[in-house]
Amino acid sequence: MTSTTYSPRNYDIFIGIDVDKKSFAFTVRDHLNMKRSKKIPADSAQFCNYIQKNYNDQKVICAYEAGPTGFYLYDYLKEQKIFCLVTPPTSIPKAPNEKVKTNKIDSIKITEELMAGKLKSIRVPEGAYRELRNLVNVRENYAYNRKGAKQRIKALLLSENLYPLLKDADIKWSSRYMKELASIQCSPAVRIRLDMLLMDLEYAREQTLSIHKKLKTFCKNNKEINEYMDYLKSIIGIGFITAVSILGRIGDPKSLKDSREIGAFIGVVPRENSTGDRINKGSITHLGNQNLRALLVEAAWIAIQKDTELQQFYYRIKKKHHPKIASRVAIVAVARKLTQRIYKVLKEKRKYIKH
């Protein structure tokens, strides 16, 4: 895992990098206001050679934005003992009236924020946890495709007024319902369109089941991950998918600092704007992974049905808010409470025991 904090005073050279498919645009600065910008091909070895050739006797820190280019540059720099941060794009401030955006300008911004000590690092998964994240991403993609196929089928049924022809339009996508859709009477073009959408849905369903099995096998074959999975699944409301998604996103639990870090990572902590003795808290930040947040909220709904303590907590919070938002606010509060349990079982390496 990468460190999430650093002190600028411990480094001599600061390098902000804008990474794309073909090139590295980077800006170099030091404490004496030296500034140098350069662009080279997207070659980790060439970039590292540049650093070693020009700043071999100085302490160097690099940073670049997380994105589609992944972690290959981070991995290479780590192997060469060069400290690197992979920072979320939200860490780089952007002026409201900003009209010009270039790779060079982006690299300068990253360097300036790096020198100021303002950059935060994402949690870079390593080893088996990175493999797990890749598998979790695959499952999420097919789950998303499955949901999208259902939505497109519903839209077609609505636009062609086919719902009246179905015996039970509200049935939950059972095999009987699928057969009915496959035989419903409609025009030739609509029939072709519906059949192709049904094939999309079936393919997404099969792939979702396939990756689910692969995830189970992967976890079972990795002793450490399998143990963490057991700890997580001992928490009421959390099943296999939620547990594996948590581990796939946060990576190695040994790097966790506190329960609030998990809440912030998922995006269920409230916004705060406090000055002096005034503490103003608002809605949740919505930062972090949206799919994981949805899974945790779903786990919270299950938990309040089976856990008396959480159920009482839910209704206590619900009573304090306007009826229009009470349920939503209360269930998010329960989800946030679940993050405390998640942190506890992962850090203490034990199953959850209900008191």
Tens-place pLDDT, residues 290-306: 889 999 999 999 999 99
Q: Is the pLDDT of residue 178 over 50?
A: yes
Q: Is residue 355 part of a domain?
A: no
Q: Is residue 120 part of a domain?
A: no
Say whether both 240 and 178 belong to one domain.
no
Say whether both 231 and 209 belong to one domain.
no
Q: What is the mean pLDDT of residues 194-204?
A: 97
Q: Is the pLDDT of residue 256 over 70?
A: yes
Say whether both 172 and 235 belong to one domain.
no
Instruction: Please state, for a pLDDT cut of 70, what percent of the chain lies above it.
Output: 91
Q: What is the mean pLDDT of residues 25-44?
A: 95
Say whether both 258 and 212 belong to one domain.
no
Q: Is residue 45 part of a domain?
A: yes
- Other CB atoms closer than 10 Å to residue 303's CB: what's the count? 25
Say whether both 244 and 344 belong to one domain.
yes
Q: What is the mean pLDDT of residues 343-347?
A: 95
Q: Is the pLDDT of residue 276 over 60?
A: no
CATH code of 97's domain: 3.30.420.40
Say whether both 136 and 99 belong to one domain.
no
Q: What is the mean pLDDT of residues 52-62?
A: 95
| Range scoring the smallest mean pLDDT among 18-22, 119-123, 138-142, 283-287 | 283-287
Work out the pLDDT band at 329, boundaries 50, 70, 90.
Answer: very high
Q: Is residue 291 part of a domain?
A: yes
Q: Is residue 16 part of a domain?
A: yes
Q: What is the mean pLDDT of residues 166-189?
A: 87
HEC string for the chain: CCCCCCCHHHCCEEEEEEECCCEEEEEEEECCCCEEEEEEECCHHHHHHHHHHHHCCCCEEEEEECCCCCCHHHHHHHHCCCEEEEECHHHCCCCCCCCCCCHHHHHHHHHHHHHCCCCCCCCCCCCHHHHHHHHHHHHHHHHHHHHHHHHHHHHHHHHCCCHHHCCCCCCCCCHHHHHHHHHCCCCHHHHHHHHHHHHHHHHHHHHHHHHHHHHHHHHHHCHHHHHHHHHHHCCCCCCHHHHHHHHHHHCCHHHCCCHHHHHHHHCCCEEECCECCECCEEEECCCCCHHHHHHHHHHHHHHHHHCHHHHHHHHHHHHCCCHHHHHHHHHHHHHHHHHHHHHHHHHHCCCCCCC
Q: Which of 81, 115, 149 is the C-terminal boundary of a domain?
A: 115
Q: Which of 218, 244, 274 is the C-terminal boundary of a domain?
A: 218
Q: What is the mean pLDDT of residues 10-16?
A: 96
Say whether both 192 and 238 belong to one domain.
no
Q: Is the pLDDT of residue 94 over 50?
A: yes
Q: Which of 115, 145, 171 is the C-terminal boundary of a domain?
A: 115
Work out the pLDDT band at 149, boundaries 50, 70, 90.
Answer: very high
Say whether both 97 and 142 belong to one domain.
no
Q: Is the pLDDT of residue 170 over 50?
A: yes
This prediction has a pTM of 0.84
Q: Is residue 107 part of a domain?
A: yes
Say whether both 98 and 16 belong to one domain.
yes
pLDDT at 279 (0 to 100): 41
How many domains is the chain built from?
A: 3
pLDDT at 288 (0 to 100): 63
Say whether both 335 and 258 belong to one domain.
yes
Q: Is the pLDDT of residue 146 over 80?
A: yes
| Range scoring the smallest mean pLDDT among 33-42, 171-180, 182-191 | 171-180
| Range scoring the smallest mean pLDDT among 61-65, 261-265, 315-319 | 261-265
Work out the pLDDT band at 143, boundaries 50, 70, 90.
Answer: very high
pLDDT at 286 (0 to 100): 53
Say whether both 200 and 234 belong to one domain.
no
pLDDT at 1 (0 to 100): 39
The overall average pLDDT reported for the chain is: 90
Q: Is the pLDDT of residue 218 over 50?
A: yes
Q: Is the pLDDT of residue 171 over 70?
A: yes
Q: Is residue 121 part of a domain?
A: no
| Range scoring the smallest mean pLDDT among 112-126, 142-156, 229-243 | 112-126
| Range scoring the smallest mean pLDDT among 29-38, 122-131, 167-176 | 167-176
Q: Is residue 3 part of a domain?
A: no
Domain ranges, residue 326: 227-348
Say whether both 335 and 240 belong to one domain.
yes
pLDDT at 140 (0 to 100): 95
Contact 63, 106 (CB under 8 A): no
Work out the pLDDT band at 3, boundaries 50, 70, 90.
Answer: very low
